[in-house]
Amino acid sequence: MKKKAEQEAKDKAEADRKAKEAKEQAQREASLKKALQAEREAEAKAANTAMVQKERSTWISAIGAKVQRAWTRDTNENVVCDVYTRQTRDGDVKEVRVQNCQGDASDAYKRSVELAVRRASPLPKAPSDEVFKSEIIFIFRPQ
């Protein structure tokens, strides 16, 4: 009887050990699955961010091109400037500031660039809400 009780105790201990190992294995697998899912989500987010940045760059280039077409050259200056623009989702220009010009830009030159932005309004629409920013800065280069 004592041997039977010892054997039952051994069997129970073995069953408990196996159950504990199975539980630990399940926890490891769940943790690994969670980590893999997080990695996939991070990769998808990075890919989406890269796509949005590329689309935003293309959109801002389209804005710059439209401003170039609207620009009337009132001067012989060929100064490159950053142009701050605040706009609505529909591309209506609300504010323009010509800033950070490389070289000395005359006030007349800056006004001509500002006027070109206002003439170009409405600016090209962003392809999606994710790409859109109401405040952008683009580089104006006379051509």
- DSSP-H helix ranges across 1-138: 2-70, 107-120
Handedness of CA 120, 122, 128, 133 (dihedral sign): positive
Handedness of CA 73, 75, 79, 83 (dihedral sign): negative
pLDDT in single tens digits along all 143 residues of the chain: 778 778 888 888 888 888 888 888 888 888 888 888 888 888 888 888 899 999 999 999 999 999 999 998 877 788 999 999 999 999 999 999 999 998 788 888 999 999 999 999 999 999 999 999 999 999 998 87
Residue 29, burial from CB neighbour count under 10 angstroms (0-12, 13-18, 19+): exposed
Q: Which fold has domain 2-140?
A: 3.30.1150
Residue 6, burial from CB neighbour count under 10 angstroms (0-12, 13-18, 19+): exposed
Domain ranges of the chain: 2-140
